[in-house]
Structures are given as structure tokens and as C-alpha cells.
A and B are shown apart, each in its own frame.
Chain A
């Protein structure tokens, strides 16, 4: 009991700015989910209410995590990792198929994306393995072992298929290794290698047509390099935006128009025409494309505010890393911040059309129940590190 009260006291040492930023992003999210669904009077019209319930649940989680000592994660890291793998395998068999990909597991009517749990498990396991207590092990642990550990869930996610989510593993692991003091040269080599792979994939999609291959040859070529139709479509849309205005490219184009027409100060809350008239598909407006609703209705000013809030969140998170009492805390914070940052960056970048459309939501803002809870749980870990910082 006394332990409980001491951890309650610890909460007073919490990074209040960070909590404020998180609350701010959630509130913005709820408002624009309302805006994205306001013209509808069907069951989706109260998405914003559901989002508030989820946020409340998530914030409860957040406080509990913040109070719990992150060092206890050592005992559960392998177990969590194993659970992540099991769920990722399970989703391949029992997952709900949406648009040709199995990404969701349904538990009692609640959808869970195992890829989120996989990322969290890899971050926690990585932080434990790279911490000083495991220093002996860490020295023996060449970098590629952590990559290999991250590679298994990553490949499973790719298999769903969810290329976008799978690629998020790479920056997370790389940043954690870098922060843990891994030698720079192999890391840079690996990153360059990764970049090369991306370039090669893009080239593989774009070149066969450019080189004038016959459709049959192209088909064969794609089969040999194992790129599925939907992956090709999405990458191809990214490369030729005007190619298919009513098909796969529609969301991207409409999102660009929505963001672009927002101007400096936007059209005002509830007045985004792209959103209201349903040019932005209503299924994605409150989820993956929430940022374009915000950018349309509040303009550059509002969009910049959101980016700024993320910036402060990154600063707070990495500040927690710097003041952490041990290496595990440092690496854990770096991993979590990188994950949240990558999600936010990729989501905004795809909204404004500079990255291909991948199914990555905007953390804390997009509609999505379990994603919200997991994100808040993860951010709670940062507070857990922060409140246990040495001093005072």
C-alpha cells in the first residue's frame, strides 16, 4: 500500500507539459473526428463520443503505466515478445480481411492490430537487451541480433500484408541501437542499404513499364520479385499521381486538394467542403486522413500547431531519455519517441502526398480505439522513466 502511495507521490514529478501536449492532441482529434462525421446521422456520427471513451480508458492506462516502474518490464519482455509473435501469426489465420489484407484481430467485438503490439514488444525487448544490466549480453549481442529479433515480427507484418507498418520497425530499431552506442558505420551502412532497397522497390515498380516490357513479362517479373498487386498499385500511384484519379489515387488526390485548399487559416471548423461533400472518402476521413480534415478547416496555422505539438512531444520524450536514471530508460524512451514520431511523420507526409498512402494513423488524433490505448500506454512508459529520474 505504501508503495502505491510512494508511486502516487512520484506522479507529482511527472512531465506536466508532456501530459498537456498529449491532452491537446487528443482534444484536437475529438473535435475533428466530430467534424469529419458531423454531416452523417448514421451510426458513425458518434465516433467522437467513442473516441472520448477510448481516450479516457487510455489516459487511465497512461497513469497506471507512469506509476509502474519501467524496470519491471525486464521480467516480461520476452513474454511480451512471444505474445506479440503469437498474435502476429494468429492474425494471418484468424484475422479479419479488410481490402485484401488481414491486419485486425477481433476480441469481443474490439479490433486489435497485432502489428502495434509487435512494435511495442520489440521496443521493450530492445531496451532490456541494450541496458547496462544486460551489458555483458549486450556486448555479445551484435547489432544484427536485435535486427533479427525485430525482423521476425516485421516479416509477419509484411505478410499481412502491411508494408507501411512493417517498415516502421526499421527506424525504431536503428534509433535505439544508435542511442545505445552502437558503432556508427554499420548503422549508416544498414540505413543506406535500407534506402537502397526502397529505391530498388520503387524502380522495380516503375521501370518495367518504362522499359517497354510486355504486360505478360511484367507480370512474370513481379511474380519473381514477389510484389503483390495492391503493393504495386499503391507505389505506382505514388509515382504517377494523375494516373488513376478515381481509383487508388483518389484518396491521395482528394487529400491534397483538401489540405491545399485550406490556405493560411482554413475554412473554419465544420466548413471543410472536401470533407463535408464526401470527396474525402468518409471511411478514412476520421481515421487515416484526419490530418487533411484539420488542414482543410484550420489551414496552415492549425496544421502547424499540430506539428508543433508533436515537436514538443518529441522534445519532452527525448528529454526524459536524457535524464533517465539508467540506460534501459534512455533506450526505451528513444524507441517510443521514434515510433510515435515515425507514425506522425509518415501519416502527415502521406496526407500531403509526399509519401505513398499506407495505413498508418496519426497517433492520439486519428479515430481508433485500441491504437489510442496502446499509444497512451507506450507514452506512459516515458513518464515512468521520467518520474524515476535521479535527483530531488
Chain B
């Protein structure tokens, strides 16, 4: 079968060809290997050498938070840790011998320090695999007694070291906790961790100013190069780049006034804000109940967290900016200004208060059932007469009032440097149609005129309103942070105070309302007389607003004041839950606060001020 043989022969030569191609391809691979390994070998040797340098990310010292006088509210302190350098404790043979040795040493030190071991066997293994050149921290925050015992011990200290970690501390504990917030363990983003083989624990702001100004305070992490040999052991260390300390944040807060403000509401849920009417500086901003941020560092204990979340008084909430309230009668100055400014009402006009006000067939009660008799504006403010304000509110119309309320800053965020600020609400007919599918009625205007109904404001907005009343019509943006300083204390940035607007009100109109507010505190019959302190002329307005379910009605007590009357330096708004009334419940608390603020007496204060 010659043809068949022929076929087989041709097939055999084809197989030979396949073999040749394969061998040629193998030779080609061999050639490429030669070029990669032998000809260009050095190139890779170098990148290998580079690679055996490991880079450790060094956290920068975090910037401080200071009050306006430089008192530190958030600081760093060394935290002493007992750490093991595993490489120095290496036992011959398998790693498990070393691990056993480390466990033995840990239980030994646990006896000495009187603390339970927190490191498990798994932790040790993980550390060996991932972070061998770094110290393994066995215990954090050792107290001085433990340090002393360590210093005197006859224990074998090879590979054992006291290791210092920066820790955040809030030296004044609860003070300004809602403003400061707290820090927690940072979770580095991929970008931040890129290029580093190891990282050390870092902190980042989780709440409040710590969070808002985290980027500023965090500074710039540095790097340390560690050379590692083939077995992962550390050979040499060098700091490649020093970390750059973060900037310190300087607040407008006055440490002393903040403490006074917190003390004034320490036993009731509520909020206080003190601003400087001259520039909008926030001198104090307090919310009650409060918390101690030191308990939250480095991690928030779960029990504490649950407890805070379950508390109906919501200690974690900054009520001064994040909670809204009906303002009640402290809103009446706005109604008065709107009415006077519209020309519909004059300061001399009187209204007869029989103790109630008729809206169609319904009656609206004045808080004094006997009625206030015939009252003019000044008297109406001093007595907080509902009938008077309902009357003038209806006269000038709700639009004039809501426009002016908006100009005072109600219904929009003030722009303070804090998260979760609530804008509040100024009701309008358009709003009511949209939200309630209902028309605006006269009764709505009456309610609105006396600060009830859907009107909702934050204590901060009320403090700014008080400030605008104090300075005769300038609305400032609240300034909580006045500037940034570097590590040595040199000024990096100053944030100027910002004037938002000048209210379009005639000076005579403003003066008429201010006189009424003066009498509120200064007249013997004024609703806010309990806030008065000797030697300081003050003006203010009390308010009481109902809240809660019908069967369980409670009242928010409000008071705004500014002082001294002629040249106001402080404008205050205070709100307290579950009050009898603004005058009775809040008045004495405001008095306590003002006594503290003017504690050294107004004369010496003005001397000091120049």
C-alpha cells in the first residue's frame, strides 16, 4: 500500500514539524528568560532592594482645640503602652516556640501589672505575619503605679519596651463636649495607605469640631523606612519624612462663660447660647444633658453608647443647633417690629386686653385670664400680652412678620461650623398649602404672632436674634472658630466675622421694642424680672411654648436677654424642657449665668475692657 505509506510518511513529517515548532517556542522562552534573568537581572535586583525597604506611616500630632484665651479644650497626652518587640524574643526553631514564649511573658507581666491579658494567641500570629517589625502592644494606658512597678521589677525585659502613643484627651471633661465632639480610630482610605506597608494607629474626628476640622487638625503623616531582610526582620530604621503637626483650632468660645452656661442648665435638658452682639462670636454654646468625650476615646464602649441612645433626653444631641423648638413669646419682638415697620401700628396705639381674643367664633386666651387692661407696645412687651400681639399681627398681616423673621435668620441654617444644624421653619401660607393641604387662616396669623404654631427655631437662631435686637439691627453669621494656629502658636489663618445683613428697620421702631424689652427685666412687674442682677441694666424677653401630646402637655421655657442695655456685649438665649414658664423657670437660671458673667462687677469689667 504505497499510497498509505506515503500518507503516513507525510503525516510523520508533519509531526516532526510540530515538534520543531514546539522546541523552537521553548528555546524562545529560554531566550526571554535569559534576557530577563541574566542580561537585565541587575535591574530587578535593584527594584527588589527597593522593595525590601518597608515604609511605615507615622501619624502626625493632632492639632489642639483652644478657647479664645488659649485654654486647651482638646489636647494630646502621652499614652504609655507595654509593647513586645517580637524579633528580639525570637526562639530558635519554629515560630510556635516564640509564640508560646510570648504568651508566657504576657501572663507573667499580667501578674505584675495586675491587668488581664488582652492579647490572644491569634493576635500574636497575626502580628508575626503582618507587622513583625512593629512593636506588639500588650497593654495600653498604663498608670503611674504600673510604670513604677515595671521600673522596679527584676523581670527579664529583653524585647519589652514602654512605648508611647499619642492619645487625645479633653482636659475639661464634659466642657463643650457637644462642640468638640470626639476622636476615634481612623480607618485609612486606600489612597492614604497606598505606598505604606505598615500603619500605626491613627485617630480621626468622629463628631463635632473634631470631625468638621479633621483635615486641618490631622496634619500630614510622615513615613519611616525600615529595612527588612529576607526573613522579615528589621535591620535599620530611618525617618524618611517627619510628620507635620496639624493646626490648632481657636474658638470664639470663652472657657469661663461656657462653664457658666453649662452650669446654668446642668440639671435640666435644654440649651444655652451666648453670642457677642458686636461681631457674632459664639462665646458659649451648651446643650444638656452632656457627655464626657474622654470616655469615648479610643473607642466608644458599647454599653455607654446604647445607654446614651436609649436616654430620652438625648445627651449626644447638640440641642443648641440641632433641635428646634417653638419660640413662644420670645418671638413677640419680631411681631412688634414687623407691625411698627409696616406702619399699620404705632408704638402709642393701645389695645384693650380682656383676657381673651376673639377670632371669629373661637376665643384665644391671654396667659393672664383677668386681662391686662389697656396696654401700649411697651407695656405689652413687658407683660407679654397675647391679645395685643394677636391684634397687631392681624393688622400688619402674616407676610410682614414672616419676611422679617426670615431676615433675622429664622427658617435657614445660620452657617455655624457644626454638623447637623437644623434650619427650623417660618410658616407661610404657601408652606401650609404644600405641607397640610389647607388654607392659611386668621387663627394661624394669631398663633404665629405670639410665636406658636408651626414656627420652629433653634436656640442659636434665638441668640442671634437677641444679638440683632441688642445691636439695633445687624445680623451676624455666628463665628465659632476664629482662626487656626500652628504648633508653635503662630497664627495661620484668621476667620473674619461676617455681617449677614442690616435689618431694614427705622431706629425709632427698634428703640420702641428695645424699651419694652428693657422693662421685661428691669420693671418690678416685668415677666423677666427674676433674671435681673444688681448693677447691670439688661433687656430681655421670656417665653413659654407648649409641646408634647395633649394628655401630657409640657412647656418649654425660653428667655433671651442682652446686656448691658446701652452697650450690649452679651446676647443670650436659653431654653429649658418641662418648665413652668419662661419667667419662673428660666429667669433665675439666666440670672445665675449673668451673675457669673458679670461676676467681677460691671465697673471693673468695663475697665478691663478699656
Give A residues with C-beta under 8 Å from B.
40-41, 175, 178-181, 246, 256-257, 259-264, 267, 271, 273-274, 276-277, 279, 295, 299-300, 303-304, 307, 310-311, 314-315, 318, 321-322, 327, 330, 334, 337-338, 341, 345, 348-349, 352-354
Q: Shortest Cβ distance from B175 into chain A, in angstroms? A: 45
CA distance A348 to B30 in the complex (A): 10
Chain A contact residues: helix, strand, loop or mixed: helix
CA distance A354 to B38 in the complex (A): 17
CA distance A277 to B48 in the complex (A): 11
CA distance A337 to B22 in the complex (A): 10
Q: Which B9-42 residues have C-beta < 8 A from chain A? A: 10-12, 14-16, 18-19, 22-23, 25-26, 29-30, 32-34, 36-38, 40-41
Q: Is the CB of A327 within 8 A of B11?
A: yes
* B145 interface residue (CB < 8 Å to A): no
5 nearest A-B residue pairs (beta carbon): A260-B44, A300-B37, A261-B48, A261-B44, A273-B230
Q: Shortest Cβ distance from A281 into chain B, in angstroms? A: 14
Q: Shortest Cβ distance from B275 into chain A, in angstroms? A: 49
Having A260-B44, A264-B41, one finds 13 other A-B pairs with CB under 8 Å, namely A257-B47, A259-B33, A259-B36, A276-B231, A295-B37, A300-B33, A311-B23, A314-B22, A315-B19, A315-B23, A318-B22, A322-B16, A345-B25
A264 to chain B: closest residue by CB: B38
Q: Is the CB of A318 within 8 A of B18?
A: yes
Assess A256 versus B33: contact at CB under 8 Å? Given A179-B15, A277-B228, A334-B18: no
Chain B interface residue count: which class?
35 or more
B130 to chain A: closest residue by CB: A278
Q: B33's contact among A179, A304, A318, A338, by CB below 8 Å, is which?
A: A304
CA distance A154 to B38 in the complex (A): 38
Q: Is the CB of B230 within 8 A of A277?
A: yes
Residues of B within 8 A of A353 (CB): 36
Residues of B within 8 A of A256 (CB): 36, 44
Assess A276 versus B232: contact at CB under 8 Å? Given A257-B47, A300-B38, A307-B29: yes
B44 to chain A: closest residue by CB: A260
Residues of B within 8 A of A307 (CB): 26, 29-30, 33
* B52 interface residue (CB < 8 Å to A): yes
- A-B contact list, 14 entries, CB within 8 Å: A257-B48, A257-B51, A261-B45, A261-B47, A264-B37, A264-B41, A271-B230, A277-B228, A300-B34, A303-B33, A310-B26, A311-B26, A327-B11, A352-B33
Q: Is the CB of A279 within 8 A of B51?
A: yes
Q: Shortest Cβ distance from A278 into chain B, in angstroms? A: 8
Residues of B within 8 A of A276 (CB): 230-232
Q: Shortest Cβ distance from A113 into chain B, in angstroms? A: 24
Q: Is the CB of A246 within 8 A of B33?
A: no
Residues of B within 8 A of A314 (CB): 19, 22-23, 26
* B194 interface residue (CB < 8 Å to A): yes
CA distance A179 to B10 in the complex (A): 9
CA distance A354 to B30 in the complex (A): 12
Q: Is the CB of B29 within 8 A of A180?
A: no
Q: Which B121-138 residues have C-beta < 8 A from chain A? A: 125, 129
CA distance A265 to B228 in the complex (A): 23
Assess A295 versus B14: contact at CB under 8 Å? Given A263-B45, A310-B26: no
CA distance A175 to B22 in the complex (A): 11
Q: Is the CB of A274 within 8 A of B94?
A: no
CA distance A148 to B228 in the complex (A): 56
* B305 interface residue (CB < 8 Å to A): no
Residues of A within 8 A of B44 (CB): 256-257, 259-261
Q: Shortest Cβ distance from A225 into chain B, in angstroms? A: 30
A291 to chain B: closest residue by CB: B33
Residues of B within 8 A of A345 (CB): 25-26, 29
Q: Shortest Cβ distance from B100 into chain A, in angstroms? A: 13
Residues of B within 8 A of A277 (CB): 51-52, 228, 230, 232
Q: Is the CB of B41 within 8 A of A263?
A: yes
Residues of B within 8 A of A261 (CB): 41, 44-45, 47-48
* B185 interface residue (CB < 8 Å to A): no
CA distance A331 to B146 in the complex (A): 80
* B95 interface residue (CB < 8 Å to A): yes
Q: Which B194-241 residues have C-beta < 8 A from chain A? A: 194, 228, 230-232
* B370 interface residue (CB < 8 Å to A): no
Q: Is the CB of B25 within 8 A of A260?
A: no
Q: Is the CB of B33 within 8 A of A295?
A: yes
* B43 interface residue (CB < 8 Å to A): yes
Assess A181 versus B37: contact at CB under 8 Å? Given A41-B95, A314-B19, A318-B19: no
